[in-house]
Amino acid sequence: MSDAEPHNAPHNVPHNIHNAAIVTTQASASPCPASALPLLASLSPGLGSPGLGGLGSVVARAPGRVNLLGEHVDYSGYGVLPMAIEAQVLAAITEVPDDGQPGGPTVTVSNADPRFEPRTYPADPNTELDLADFSWAHYFMCGYKGALASFPGPPPKLRSLEVKVSGNVPSGAGLSSSSAFVVASALATAARYEVPLSRTSLAEAAIAGELHCGTLSGGMDQAASILALPGRALHIRFVPGLTAEPVELPGGVAFVICNCLRRKEKAVDSSRYYNLRVVECRLAALCIAAKHGVPLEGVRTLRDVADALAARDGAEPAAAMGRLAGECAEGAAAAPAGLSLPALSGLLSCEEAELVASFFPDRAAQAAAVLADNASFKIWQRALHVFEEALRVMGFAGSVAAGGTPDGAELARLMDASHESCKTLFECSCEELDALVACCKSAGALGARLTGAGWGGCVVSAVREGEEEEFIARVKKSYYGGEMGMAEGEIEDGTIVVTAGGS
């Protein structure tokens, strides 16, 4: 981090304008990227003023991210290849007097955008969030809970806080607005309460915190926001522990991110979308383990079972993954509509009523909702996607790590293959995303794919440097004008974002 930052700020990864950071406190300030200044200005009225108690403010920023490769593999234990983007979230925390409130200290969260209503919560981090009455402000409390759960020793004395949030990461667009929000919250809370967290520990706290919103997140989004480096993607891995290695990107290539304008929040209807995929992947791992005689007790992810088989057979992990991908392709062909709960119970030698208790003790409520809300589970299709997508990440990151020159044509090919897999095997695309990918390819993209959880959101395209403006003009005409019927003036700022690639 910068030498100007508070001593208690996370410090084991250098601060740069691409990753999460404390940008202001009442006593000191860190360098603030120019892109954050308008957002900071939107927070400034009242910060540290008598109207907010005058007891000092902490402001943290966290960028969104775009994932280049590795969609829906993080919660199966495999690595991903994201990079941070300029769009970001800022969260300001100001301590206010309690004034003898009968219910104890509170946290009030408001937004610089008046469309988002304020919400007040008990300051006690052990108070569960009401997911039936979901609010955008729940994401702040996720980061708050994650940071305070990491406090060493006895818990700190809780204080009443006023929180104000501003950001320009579009929500529901697959660019990690919710996770950037959680990261900014966790970082600001850690600074406010002087929680001594390294950046890796902060990422782990944010990952754990976001689970309080009911989404079975894998950890890529939070780690990318905190650990990002300028001009590089990150190969983020989660086994045996969280690590992030910079990966050089191809020279002469820029990345253009286009919003399909269909919003999809991960936490909304998650039992039929995001959480369903998480449960399907675990069920796939368990069924593969049962088929191959691997003890089910130690299996939670597809990586668990692939690594166990590789170790047992003396094979390289990639070879084991490739063999299992072949088996999953056979299973998908035999059961194109998926498997019923009775069929899954038979494969696992377990009564239906015991599935959650036996195999999802860590996520019982979410798994129970998924099993109740769905009649079939395409476990083989999901596992086939995961193994092949993980191999795509390993292949590209591994070749660069071994000293190879980043190959733009190869990355583009992998991006195209990734989208096709997300569309046909993982079924996390939608008509708008598919239409936008087609328009991007017709406009000259080297490769294009959905990015983020899917079912809406954005497409990331690899485009030759110097051709970005022409590419954008073509996409505006073909997708936003042709497919969406929009006039030029109706396309809002931030709908299309350009992010530089390698040197």
Give the Cα separation of 175 and 257 in Å (integer): 9
Question: 270, 267, 264: which is closest to 367 by C-alpha?
Answer: 270
Q: Are 62 and 200 in contact (CB under 8 A)?
A: no
Instruction: For 240, list phi and psi in degrees, rounded to 5.
Output: -80, -15
Return d(Cα 244, Cα 241) in angstroms, integer.
Answer: 10
The phi and psi torsions of 163 (rounded to 5 degrees) equal: -120, 135
Q: Which of 224, 236, 255 is nearest to 20 (CA)?
A: 224
Q: How far apart are CA 61 and CA 188, in angstroms?
A: 8
C-alpha Rg value of the chain to the nearest Å: 23
Nearest Cα to Cα of residue 90 among 51, 129, 61: 61
Task: Measure the CA–CA gap between 449 and 306, rounded to whole angstroms.
Answer: 27
CA gap 308, 122 in Å, rounded: 44
Q: Is 63 helix (H, G, I), strand (E, B) or coil?
A: strand
Sign for the pseudo-dihedral over CA of 421, 422, 424, 430: negative
- Which residues lie closer than 8 Å to 275 by C-beta, 6 or more apart? 214, 215, 216, 366, 367, 369, 370
Point out the catalytic residue in the list 3, 99, 133, 221: 221
Tokens representing residue 362 in the block: 């860590």
Catalytic, 221? Answer yes
Is there a contact between 415 and 394 (Cβ–Cβ < 8 Å)? no
Tokens of 18: 């691409």
Cβ distance 194 to 204 under 8 Å?
no
Euclidean distance between CA atoms 382 and 253, whole angstroms: 31
- On whether the CB atoms of residues 231 and 16 are closer than 8 A, the answer is no
CA dist., res. 70 & res. 244, Å (int): 14
Give the C-alpha separation, 254 to 66, whole Å.
Answer: 13
Single-letter amino acid code for the residue at 456? G
Residue 154 DSSP code:
S
Question: Closest by alpha carbon to 192, among 96, 272, 267?
Answer: 96
301, 74 contact by CB (below 8 A)? no
Catalytic site positions: 221
